[in-house]
A and B are shown apart, each in its own frame.
Chain A
Amino acid sequence: MSLAHNKTEDYLFKGLLLVGLLFSLSIFVVLFFLIRSGGHFFISTSISETLFFDQWFPSEQLFGLAPMITGSLLVSALSLALAGPFSLILAFFYFYICPLKLKSALNIFMDIFLSIPSVVFGLWGLVVVVPLLAPLFPPGQGLFTASIILAMMILPIGFKTFVATLQTIPNECLLAAKSCNLSEWSVFKDIIFKSYKRKFFVGFLLQVTRAIGETMAVLMVCGNIIQYPDSLFAPIRTLTTNIALEMSYATDFHRTSLFFCGLLLIGFIFILLLISRTDEMKYEK
């Protein structure tokens, strides 16, 4: 192998670097195409009217997104309320209380649970959970069912994040707590929760990000009726399921409005990402 300067390799590297740069910045390509197809929506209708308007009748040129946005936010909030504390306690259990023999089992099963495809959760919800809830709270498909399924899907994500956070705790700190004979509850409340509040918050945000973006499982169990839910079990529709349901036959302006829904989703997620990053930014300064 010669170490002499080789011009062609130089050019090749620059070319490859450019390709790499293009793909690392592919979110901008994504945004460009979304705005190209959905940006028309900004000009033709007033945004505030669309976001707070509750009539969605594409054939009559009525594009109110408010019920869908409400549905998305409600489902993610409810699923976080179910899965968030649960995964935090489970992570602490794994880290501090769990006997060594059970530890690897819990870890492996969590890995497997994380890998179950969303469409399989949806199928399970549709065939098992919906008929179970239908006689008690008709029609069975609705906000609560979707939240349960979503909670199960975001549980392992929270668990993994929280365990990764807990593993950064210095060993001495825990040994000191052990030698002071602190109880598990006070280790959790006074040491871990107090100093890692911020990081746990970021973990919860990550779960919400996943919950808002989830499509297939929600689509199969949420009922898909456009309305403000009047009870916990009422059918709803979310932004993601709206895209999945109507994309196949949408044309012209209707299609544009669906791309606008996509933009809105990316917007939500970008805001969540920025909130979770403010902490890091402070340290960098």
Chain B
Amino acid sequence: MKNKIFILTSWLSFFTFFAIFFAVTGNIIFTGLDNFSFSFLFNTFNNSGRDGGISTIIISTLIIVAFALFVSVIISILSAICIDYFSKNIRITKILKLSIDTLSATPSIVFGLIGNIIFCEFLGLGYSLISGSLTLALMILPIQTRIILIGLNSVPKDIRLGAYALNLKPFTSYFRIKIHLIKKQILSGTFMGLGRSLAETAALLFTSGYGVKMPSSLLDSGRTLSIHIYDLAMNVPGGNENAYKSALTLILLVFIISLITATIQRRFNLGQQEFVWN
């Protein structure tokens, strides 16, 4: 009897999940598709966002995200190599891993504060695309570092031993050999970071600002799609329709990216093997 109730509960939770899922995505997609036309994507911002399109916002989003990924891929490879290099020293590794873990658990609003004080004020960049993307880079750094670290750990022992036997310098063994073996992890980390940075709002509120003009340089202020949605929903009365359209655009982008990430992970067997009855 207990067993039957348990199985029923678990099936029920399964269907509840799908109900919730379709309640959210269905609502966003169908409401967003009302009066949706592609000119919305290519028109400029008008009347605090009630009319007009989101072309300038899409462009600043792309600039912020691209620059953030460019920076974070480089620094995450470096920090993963650093952690791997010190992996024999348990004490240092412990500190480094705890630091990366804390950084990845830090709330995004705290990154917003930090980005504001470091990039906008300390480095004097002001509310600009570049401070936004550097803040984002700091935020996605731990995610990418972890994935690349998994890749470095899974480098076959033969290669480590071979490099040791040839008396290769660490620079050669890392940047000429091992980096070719962790390409998949770097790729999957990049897509994960892309998804996270597109979805981020709180970290950008006080770093990239609310600017709506076409950005002419990295030092201009510019809002991303997610900030645009927040602004329309909270601060602009009557902005809900365009908020929904922007949400639809954002959601479709993020869905595609998350599917690509999942495909990469499955194709390259980066995830854990599933348990199958047979």
B49 sits at the interface (CB 8 A): no
Residues of A near B75 (CB, < 8 A) are 19-20, 23
- A27-B99, A95-B275, A269-B107 known; A123-B255 Cβ under 8 A: no
Contact B103 A27 (CB under 8 A): yes
- A184-B7, A209-B105 known; A111-B258 Cβ under 8 A: yes
Contact with B along A1-43 (1 / 0, CB 8 A): 1010110011011001101110111111110011011000000
Closest to A174 in B: B275
Q: Which of A46-54, A57-65, A195-203, A241-249 contacts B (4 or more CB under 8 A)?
A: A241-249
A240 sits at the interface (CB 8 A): yes
Contact A167 B273 (CB under 8 A): yes
Residues of B near A283 (CB, < 8 A) are none
Contact A23 B78 (CB under 8 A): yes
B34 sits at the interface (CB 8 A): no
B141 to chain A, nearest CB (A): 6
Residues of B near A275 (CB, < 8 A) are none
Contact B176 A1 (CB under 8 A): yes
Contact B110 A265 (CB under 8 A): yes
Residues of B near A220 (CB, < 8 A) are 230, 233-234
Contact B6 A216 (CB under 8 A): no
Complex CA gap A118/B196 in Å reads: 10
Contact A124 B262 (CB under 8 A): no
A45 sits at the interface (CB 8 A): no
Contact with B along A165-200 (1 / 0, CB 8 A): 011010100100010000111101000000000000
Residues of A near B21 (CB, < 8 A) are 109, 112-113
Contact B170 A13 (CB under 8 A): yes
Complex CA gap A184/B277 in Å reads: 14
Contact with A along B4-28 (1 / 0, CB 8 A): 0111011101101110110111011
- A116-B254, A269-B106 known; A5-B169 Cβ under 8 A: yes
Closest to B167 in A: A3
Interface centre among B82, B118, B244 (most CB of A within 10 A): B82
Contact with A along B107-130 (1 / 0, CB 8 A): 111101110111000100000000
B3 sits at the interface (CB 8 A): yes
Complex CA gap A215/B106 in Å reads: 12
Contact B113 A258 (CB under 8 A): yes
Q: List residues of B (73-107) whose CB comes within 8 Å of A's CBs.
A: 75-76, 78-83, 85, 95-96, 98-103, 105-107
Complex CA gap A259/B82 in Å reads: 31
Pick from A111, A123, A259: contact of B113, CB under 8 Å: A259
Contact A112 B17 (CB under 8 A): no
Q: List residues of B (184-208) whose CB comes within 8 Å of A's CBs.
A: 195, 198-202, 205-206
Contact B106 A13 (CB under 8 A): no
Contact with B along A243-280 (1 / 0, CB 8 A): 11001100000000011001001100110110001000
Residues of B near A118 (CB, < 8 A) are 199, 201-202
Contact A262 B20 (CB under 8 A): no
Pick from A3, A110, A124, A240: contact of B107, CB under 8 Å: A240
B158 sits at the interface (CB 8 A): no
Residues of A near B254 (CB, < 8 A) are 115-117
A93 sits at the interface (CB 8 A): yes
A133 sits at the interface (CB 8 A): no
Complex CA gap A159/B169 in Å reads: 43
Contact B229 A171 (CB under 8 A): no
Residues of B near A89 (CB, < 8 A) are 9-10, 13
Closest to B275 in A: A167
B231 to chain A, nearest CB (A): 10
Complex CA gap A229/B227 in Å reads: 29
Contact A100 B276 (CB under 8 A): yes
Complex CA gap A26/B76 in Å reads: 12
B259 sits at the interface (CB 8 A): yes
Closest to B84 in A: A20
Contact B81 A17 (CB under 8 A): yes
- A10-B169, A33-B122, A92-B10 known; A126-B233 Cβ under 8 A: yes
Interface centre among B6, B27, B258 (most CB of A within 10 A): B6
B267 sits at the interface (CB 8 A): no
Complex CA gap A25/B76 in Å reads: 12
A67 sits at the interface (CB 8 A): no
Complex CA gap A183/B6 in Å reads: 10
User: What are 26 A-B pairs with beta-carbon distances under 8 A?
Assistant: A5-B169, A6-B169, A6-B171, A24-B82, A30-B110, A34-B114, A100-B276, A107-B262, A109-B17, A117-B198, A117-B200, A117-B201, A117-B251, A118-B201, A119-B199, A119-B230, A120-B229, A164-B272, A167-B275, A185-B3, A185-B5, A213-B107, A215-B109, A220-B234, A269-B107, A270-B102
Residues of A near any B CB (own CB < 8 A): 1, 3, 5-6, 9-10, 12-13, 16-17, 19-21, 23-30, 33-34, 36-37, 86, 89-90, 92-93, 95, 97-98, 100, 102-103, 106-124, 126-128, 152, 155, 164, 166-167, 169, 171, 174, 178, 183-186, 188, 209, 212-216, 219-220, 240, 243-244, 247-248, 258-259, 262, 265-266, 269-270, 272-273, 277
Closest 8 CB pairs of A and B: A213-B107, A20-B82, A117-B199, A20-B78, A115-B258, A13-B171, A93-B10, A183-B3
